[in-house]
Every structure is written in structure tokens, then in C-alpha cells.
Amino acid sequence: MNSNFRAGLKNVDVLIGTLITIPAPEIAEIMIEVGFDWLFVDTEHAPFNAKDALKILQTAGDRCPCIVRIPANHEVWIKKSLDIGAEGIIAPQVNSAAEAEQIVRLCKYPPRGARSVGIGRAHKYGLGFKEYVKKANDEVAVIIQAESTNALKNISEIVRVPGIDAILIGPYDLSASMGKMGKVTDPDVRNAIATIAECCLSAGLRVGIFVDTAETAAAFIQQGFTLIAISTDGLYMALGAKETLNALKR
């Protein structure tokens, strides 16, 4: 396991990643060559199964840490994502401290938690089992998403849950839960984001956010956000192609 990702979080490094939503190893290779600090492998919304995610992680190898956003906060998805070698998981739609505690518990091996013990790629298929389980509790990153009005309401309790390494704000789902679908720059949505961030930073917790432009990312970095997920592979392709085509047509 490449331990740089969680260490970077703890050291308050600004880590800039992008979403991998197309289950093709070539896409991951391109984003690694571009130079992103980490890859956000989205098995929640994108058409990934575990084998698709495994191929992305194998492609990245030791060159770039991969964090898997699980499709649901269930034990099977957590252990499967970690056993295939993810540097950590992103748990979507976490709305209470109790939910956060359960996620942390399932990410940590006993006695610190209740992660099921298996043998997979993370353990070098058994050849590195002892080494992996010895350090996994200290090197696997546990990131939860705050992306609803319920999370906003409970954020002061959520940030106090031991074992959470960062909270990643999902502005689009947050705006939808506030009845302002997609209006991520609406003052009420921005105030909600600021409230979540303030609670995180006051608790000494790293805070991140999904953004779609470099300008937006830079503004959040100035506010203390250190975990940035910027755009998606599909958006880069679509917008780049559209810009080129439009330029030619003009």
C-alpha cells in the first residue's frame, strides 16, 4: 500500500484529484500522466463493478493513490474495496454520527474495528498478509461525505467521530436536498458549505469538496479546503471536444 495519501491528509497537503467514471484503464493512465495527486474511483454513480474498479487500481499501481467511493455504506462494499487495494474509501450520504461510527468500524481491523479478514490484492494475494494487516488501520483513509440537510444538521456530532480522516462535501446533492438543485453558488448553499467546513476545521478534521473549475477550487483552497475532487473524466472529454468543435465551426 502506498501510504502517501493518508499521510498527506494528516499533513494538510492540498491533494487534487479527479473522478474516474469511465471503467477503462486507459482513462486512469491518462489522468495519472496528467499528474493528479489521487484518483476518485466512483462506483456509486458510474457503471463500475468490483472487477472494473480492480483494473483501475492495478493500472494505477504505486504511481497514484486510488480512493473508491462505494455505492452504498454496506460492509460488503467496504471490505471489497479495501481488499482490492484501495488507499481508502469515500462513503456517500452519511447523515449521522452513528452512521459515521459504523463506517469507521468496518474499515478497521480488530481490535479497533470489525473489518472482515480476507486475502486479496491488498495483501499481495497472501504473500504480504502480515505486513498489510499490521499497518492497514493506520494507512487506510476513511472519508465520509456530507451532502444533505440531515448531515448539515448533525455535522457537529459527525466531526467528533474518531477515525474519520476527512469530510468531502457534495455540493450538488446538498443543493438538491435544500430544494435548490444544481444551484451550488446560491447563498444558502454556500452558507451550508461554510458551516460544514467550519465545523470540520474547528475539530481539526480535513475538509474537501467536489468542484468543476480551477477557479472554484482555488477559492475553496483559500478557505482551508485541502481535499479537492475536480471534474470528471467524462466532462474533460466532452467539454474539450465541444470547445474544439465549436472553434472550428466558428
Tell me the catalytic residues. 45
| CB distance 143 to 227 below 8 Å | yes
Peptide bond connecting 111 to the previous residue in cis, omega within 30 degrees of 0: yes
Angle at 122 between CA 121 and CA 126, to 5 degrees: 70
Contacts of residue 13, defined as CB under 8 A and 6 or more positions apart, other chains included, come to: 37, 226
CA distance 123 to 234: 32
8 Å CB contact between 97 and 160: yes
The crossing angle, in degrees rounded to 10, of helices 187-202 and 149-158 is 20
> Residues 110-119: contacts with CB within 8 Å, 24+ apart?
112/137, 112/163, 113/137, 113/163, 115/78, 115/79, 115/82, 116/75, 116/79, 118/79, 118/83, 119/83
Q: Is 246 left (phi over 0), alpha (psi -120 to 50) or beta?
A: alpha
Specify the 3-state DSSP secondary structure of 229.
strand
Length reported for the chain? 250
Tell me the sheet residues that pair with 40: 19, 67
